[in-house]
Amino acid sequence: MCLATPVKVTKLNKNKAVVDALGKKSRVDTSLLQNVKMGDYLYASRGLAIKKVSRSEAEKVLELVKKWGK
């Protein structure tokens, strides 16, 4: 099973983005999505952005992830 994690776009260069998830930076391919912008929240898994999400949804999920990590 694979889980997608909410991430925030911090840098963008064509269809590649640097994203932040709870302070961890990584790179993802955004070629499956349209109109990705700086500051957008995305679901990403294994280096691939798969869906745009609202900031509020991303924050709710990230809070749950933080709780699981305790």
Give the model's pLDDT for residue 70.
62
Q: Range of 27's domain?
A: 5-68
Q: Name the helix (H) or strand (E) containing 24.
A: strand 24-29
Phi, psi (deg, nearest 5) at residue 15: -105, 20
- pLDDT one-digit tens code per residue, 49-66: 999 999 999 999 988 888
> For the chain, how many structural domains are there in total?
1
pLDDT for residue 64: 87
pTM above 0.85, yes or no: yes
Percent of the chain at pLDDT exceeding 70: 94
CATH code assigned at 39: 2.30.30.140
